[in-house]
Structure 1
Amino acid sequence: MNNKRLAVVTGASRGIGNAVAVRLAREGYNIVTMGISSEADAEKGLKKIKDEGAAVAYVRGNLADKTARRSVVDESMRLGGIDLLVNNASMAPRVRADILEMSAESLEEVLSVNLTGTFLLTQTVANIMAARVKEGRGGIPSIINISSISSDTVSLNRAEYCLSKAGISMATQLFAVRLAEFGIPVFEIRPGIISTDMIAPVKQKYEKLIEGGLVPFKRMGLPEDVANAVWALASGRFTYSTGLVINVDGGLNIKRL
């Protein structure tokens, strides 16, 4: 590619991941990403990243698949190594069902992508980053996990998603402690109600709730709001922080009477 820093951003062809990759590209990163869409279907989002001057490599595959995860890592190493890992890719349940009716198949599918796949990719990358630091090669890399307000906010009709994001919150703390000896920071961003394809089926419901005062900022979040937070953490300015959780939710997490 070139001498730019390299970020792996999973799920960067659309939504939050695309906004994150575009922002990182604007700040001088090249991007490696993965997703389940064909390259042709992903091209619109990938073009936005390229338009910021970044070189982009796309790996088609499911995060739950070991071979796909390995391909992302191998491609990144071929292009110079991983300076930043942004774990963004996730899926919602295919069918929103009450927790008493949720199927085992749905639980397994969501956890395999959102939690297991993300954890195992992070484990592989963390080992590579730690080895790099020990060998004194390059600067200090970092890891940013995109979880969700659902990590500690109950949604009875998508328990699978809540469980997966709660797991990511704990994974953030685990990796933050384990990698601290290498000076590698691990952060978590918890988006609230963000205007993406994932919430399209219930967007009108959320808009009414926001109008009624659910969110202090009285608006739905944008993918760019999350991207701004990612860049703030990736910029290297949080020099004595790790395990930090940033809420990007317009104040939704604040306890109010």
Structure 2
Amino acid sequence: MNNLLKMNNYQLLRNRIYLGGCIGIFLLGFLTARTYETDVLGASGGIAASLSDIFIGMVYDSTFLHIIVSSLLALLLGQEFSHRTISQEVCSGHGRGTIFAGKVISYLLAFNFMIILYPFAGCIRQASRFGLGGAGSFLFLVIKAVLYSFLLNSAVFLPAFFCCFWLRNSGKAVAFTAGLTFLLSLYLGYGMKLGFPVSFLPAYQIRKAVSTQALFLPSCLLSAAVWAGGMLFLSWHMFCKCDLK
């Protein structure tokens, strides 16, 4: 009974943390939306002329959220080791492959949804100002941005899985994930200004995807595939080494 009560309390806490993260990012997007009227595509500047410009600008600039969202992912996934929920799933007869795939798919879906709330919140705030003129082109832009954001943001989030499966400690996983994501973000920011090679970074490819009209972007797909493939391999390797009995 005590174990069941502890598990219920943990699940309630986890849900509250995730919901709080979603609300916080939505409010952040809603409150900062007006700043993108004169800051389309970040450093490249420009004046927003439509709701599409707001959406593009906010997706382009949402890479700063990677540190927050990746850290939340590491926190919640790391707690599954602290509270031994993964061990209980193994003891219940679930295979490691099934558990691994379930965690990756569910967490990536949940946290991709969280980060995409940022530009959608901004569009809700600015819809009354710009209206929905050119709804067809706006819908195309949104679908393209969501697709590439999911692929590339997933590549950004996957190192958090590796950290959790490697360290199996929530606090250490959060610290390592936040530090790594911060360093990559710092390199992206200064690298773009100083001409360093940044095209290998998924965060850069997100910006490239939303700042071009082309639908098929091989470099974006290649970056997502290489990062995701490498991180999934390393994460699975670490997961297989975990003592979950």
TM-score range, shorter chain: 0.3 to 0.5
Structure 1 length-normalised TM: 0.34
Rg larger in 1 or in 2? 2
Structure 2 length-normalised TM: 0.35
**Greater share of strand:** 1
